[in-house]
Structure 1
Amino acid sequence: MRILQMNFERGWRGGERQTLLSMQQFRDAGHDVALLARRGGALTRRASAEGFAVHEPANVAGLCGFLLRHGRRYDILHAQTANMMTWLALLKPLLGRRIVFTRRTAFPVKRRERQTAWKWRSADVLVAISQAAASEPRRLGLEASVIPSAIQARPLDQEHITAFTRQFDLAGKRVLATAAALTAEKDPCTLIRAVHRLRQLRSDFVFLHLGAGGGTETEARELVRELGLGDIYVFAGFQSGIDDLYRLMDVFVLSSRDEALGTSVLDAFLYSVPVVATNAGGLAEILADGRGVMCAVGDDEALASGMDRVLNDRGLRASIVENARDYVLREHDASVMAGRYLAEYQRLLDRNS
C-alpha cells in the first residue's frame, strides 16, 4: 500500500507526534509511506531524520500543486489536521484518490456547520481519536470510527535527567508537572490558582510547566507574579526528550478546558506517574475506572485537593498507577493503533476495487 501522510503544522505537538508514530508503524508493517509537510517544520525535520520520503512545500499553493501533480501516486491520502482536510476536500474531484481524515480535537462546531459537514463528508473514512472527538461529526450526521492515539516508551537518558534536575534545582523536592502549551484550551490560569491553593497546604514541592508559549502566556506569567509563586512555579518551556522527565514526576496534572484525548496523560500512565486532571472531553474516558483523580473543568480547588491527596496517600498512588498502566498498555499500544488504521485503509480499498 502507498500511503501519503499529510500534516502542515509548524511545531511539534501531539498530532505531529502521532503522525510520525503512525508512519513508523506503517513502514514496519511493510508499506510505502511518505509525508507531505511544511518546509522547515519540526515534523519535516524529524521524519527526514528517520529516513522517510518527505515532500515539503513552503506554502499552501505549493501543497496544492504537489497534490495535483503527484497525488494519484498514492493509494491513501491521510489528512492528519483539519486544515489539510480542507484542501483535500476542495481538490478531491481532481485527485480521484481515497481520503482519510483524523479528527484530533473535541471543539464544538459553533459556526459554519454546513461547510464543516461538507468538508468532513469529503473524507472516505473519518476517524476520531476519542468518543469526545467523534461527537460533533456524529451530531452532524456523519459516521466516525474511533481509533485512540498511541504511545511508545523511549529509552531512558540518565544524563538528560541529571542535567535537568541540576538546571531546575529539583533535588530533594517533590515534583508536580504539566505538559501543555500556554493556550486558552489548556487553561493554565486555573492550574496556577490550584498550585497557589496547594501552596497554602504544603511547601515541599516544585511545579514544572513544560510546554511552548501561546496566547495566554502573558496572563499566566503575570498571575504567577501576582500570587507570589515565582519560587515554586517554573515555566520550563518546550523540552525535547520529555519522556525522560516523566521519571522525575510525583504527580502529573492537566487543567484543560477542551481535550480530545490527552496523550500527555497517556505518557504519565506509561511511566507510572499518577494523574490529576479535569474531565474535559476525552480525559473523562481515559481517567475512568480509577485511572486518575478527575476534577470539574475550571475547578482550581478540586485540582489542589486532588494533588494534595495523591501526594499524601501512598495507597491511592499505587492503585492509580497500576490501573492506568494496565490500561495504556492494552488500549494505546502503537502497533494496535497502526493495525486499526491499516484495516480501515484496506476496507476502503476493497470497497472501491
Structure 2
Amino acid sequence: MRILHLNLEKGWRGGERQTLLTLQGLQARGHTVQLAARAASPLAGRAQAAGVAVLACSGVGALLRLLLRQRQAFDIVHAQTAQTMSLLALLRPVLRAQTVFTRRTAFQVTGTQRRHRWKWSRVDALVAISQAAAQAPRALALPVSIIPSAVGPLPVDPVRVQVLRGRFGLDGRQVLVTAAALSPEKDPCTLIEAVGLLRRTHPQLICLHFGAEGAAAAAARERIQRLGLGAHYVLAGFEARMGDALALAHVYASSSRFEALGSSVLDACLAGLPVVATEVGGHVETLAPDRGLLVPAGDAPQLARRLAWVLEHPAAAQAMAQRAQAYVARVHGVPEMVSGYEEIYQRLVLRAGG
C-alpha cells in the first residue's frame, strides 16, 4: 500500500512519537510510506534519520497544495492531528485515497457538536488511542476503532545516568520524576503543592520535572519559589533521552487533568517504575485495578499521601510496578499497534476496490 501520514506539529510530544513508530513499522512490513510534516520540525528530522521519506511543508497552505497535487498518489491518507483532520474533511470530495484519523485527546466536545460530527464523519475510518479518547465521537453516534498507542523500551546510557545524578545532586535523595510540558492541562502546580507537603516527612525528596515550556510555566515557577522548594523541585527542561531520566527515579508521577492515554506513564510502567497518577482518561485504563495508584485530579494532599506510600513500602510498590510492566509490554507493543492500523488500511483499500 501507498500510505501518507499528516502531522504538522512544531514540537515533539507523544503524538509525534506515535506517528514515527507507526510509519517505521509499516515501512518494515513492505508498505510505501511518506510523511507530510512541517519543515525543520523534530518529527521531520527524526523521520528522515530513520529512513522515512518526508514531504516538507511550511504550513497548512503548503499541505493543502501538496494534497491537491498528489491526490492520486496514495491509497491511504492518515491525519495524525486535529488540524490535519480538518483539512482532510474539506478535501474529502477530491481525494482518491481512503482517509483515516487518529484521535489522541480526551477533551469533551461542547458547543460545536454538529461541526465535530460533520468533520469526523468525513473520514473512512476513525481511530482512538483509548476508550477515553473514543467517548466524544461515540457520543455523536460515530463508529470508532480502538488502537492503543505503543511504547518500546527506552535506551539507557549508564554513563549519562551518572552524569545526570551528579548534575542534579541525587546522592542520598529520593527521586520523583515526571515528564510533562508546562501546560495547564498537565497541571504542574498540583504536583508542586504535593511535593511541598511531602518534603515535610521526606526531606530527602527531589522532583525532577522534565518537559518543554508552556502556558503554565510562570505559575509553576512562582509556586516553587513561594513554597521554598528550590532544593526539592527542579524544572529540568525537555529531555530527549527519557530512558536516562527514568533510570534516576524511585517513583513516577503524573498530575494531568486530561489524558487520552498518557505515553509518559506507559514509558514509566515499561521501565519498571511504580506510578502515581490522576484518575483521568487513559490513566485509569493503564493503572487500574492494581497496576498503579490513582488520585483525583487537582488533589495535592491525596497525591502526596500516595507518593509517600510508594516511598515507604518499596516491596509492595515494586510488585505493583511489575504488574504494570507486564501489562504494558503485552497491550502496548509496537507490532500490535502497527497490525491494528495495517488491518484497517487493508479493509479500506479492499472496500474501495470492490
Normalised by the shorter chain, which TM-score bucket? over 0.9
Instruction: Tell me which residue corresponds to 1:193.
Output: 193
Q: Which whole-Å CA distance do the structure 1 matches of 2:268 and 2:283 have between them?
A: 13
Would you say 1:206 and 2:206 are equivalent positions?
A: yes
Instruction: Tell me which residue corresponds to 2:221.
Output: 221
Instruction: Tell me which residue corresponds to 2:175.
Output: 175
**What do residues 288-310 of structure 1 show as CA deviations (whole Å, max 9, x unaligned)?**
12110000111111100010000
Instruction: State how 1:63-102 maps to structure 2 within 5 Å.
Output: 63-102=63-102
Contact 2:211/2:237 (8 A) holds in 1: yes
Q: Which whole-Å CA distance do the structure 2 matches of 1:96 and 1:293 have between them?
A: 47
Would you say 1:238 and 2:248 are equivalent positions?
A: no
Task: Give me the TM-score of the superposition, normalised by structure 1.
Answer: 0.98
Instruction: State how 1:11-160 maps to structure 2 within 5 Å.
Output: 11-160=11-160
Deviation at 1:111, TM superposition (A): 2.6
Give, as a single letter, the amino acid of the residue that structure 1 aligns with 2:164: F
More displaced stretch, 310-319 vs 32-41: 310-319
Give, as a single letter, the amino acid of the residue that structure 2 aligns with 1:224: I
Contact 2:8/2:59 (8 A) holds in 1: no
Q: Which whole-Å CA distance do the structure 2 matches of 1:57 and 1:196 have between them?
A: 45
State the SS of the aligned residue for 1:148.
coil
Runs of 4 or more consecutive aligned structure 1 residues displaced over 3 Å after TM superposition: none
Q: Which whole-Å CA distance do the structure 1 matches of 2:333 and 2:59 have between them?
A: 34
More displaced stretch, 269-278 vs 239-248: 239-248
Q: Which whole-Å CA distance do the structure 2 matches of 1:291 and 1:270 have between them?
A: 12
Q: Which whole-Å CA distance do the structure 2 matches of 1:70 and 1:118 have between them?
A: 25
Q: Which whole-Å CA distance do the structure 2 matches of 1:332 and 1:77 have between them?
A: 24
Contact 1:160/1:244 (8 A) holds in 2: yes
Instruction: Tell me which residue corresponds to 2:310.
Output: 310
Contact 2:75/2:96 (8 A) holds in 1: no
Deviation at 1:67, TM superposition (A): 0.4
Deviation at 1:318, TM superposition (A): 2.0
Contact 1:290/1:319 (8 A) holds in 2: no
CA RMSD of aligned residues (A): 0.9
State the SS of the aligned residue for 1:71.
coil
Instruction: Tell me which residue corresponds to 2:321.
Output: 321
Give, as a single letter, the amino acid of the residue that structure 2 aligns with 1:217: A
Instruction: Tell me which residue corresponds to 2:279.
Output: 279
Contact 2:71/2:94 (8 A) holds in 1: no
State the SS of the aligned residue for 1:117.
helix
Q: Which whole-Å CA distance do the structure 2 matches of 1:349 and 1:95 have between them?
A: 14
Q: Which whole-Å CA distance do the structure 2 matches of 1:201 and 1:226 have between them?
A: 19
Deviation at 1:338, TM superposition (A): 0.4
Deviation at 1:159, TM superposition (A): 2.3
State the SS of the aligned residue for 2:134.
helix
Q: Which whole-Å CA distance do the structure 1 matches of 2:110 and 2:54 have between them?
A: 35
Q: Which whole-Å CA distance do the structure 1 matches of 2:230 and 2:110 have between them?
A: 38
Task: Give me the TM-score of the superposition, normalised by structure 2.
Answer: 0.98
**What do residues 43-68 of structure 1 show as CA deviations (whole Å, max 9, x unaligned)?**
01111111211001112111100000
Q: Which whole-Å CA distance do the structure 2 matches of 1:314 and 1:62 have between them?
A: 53
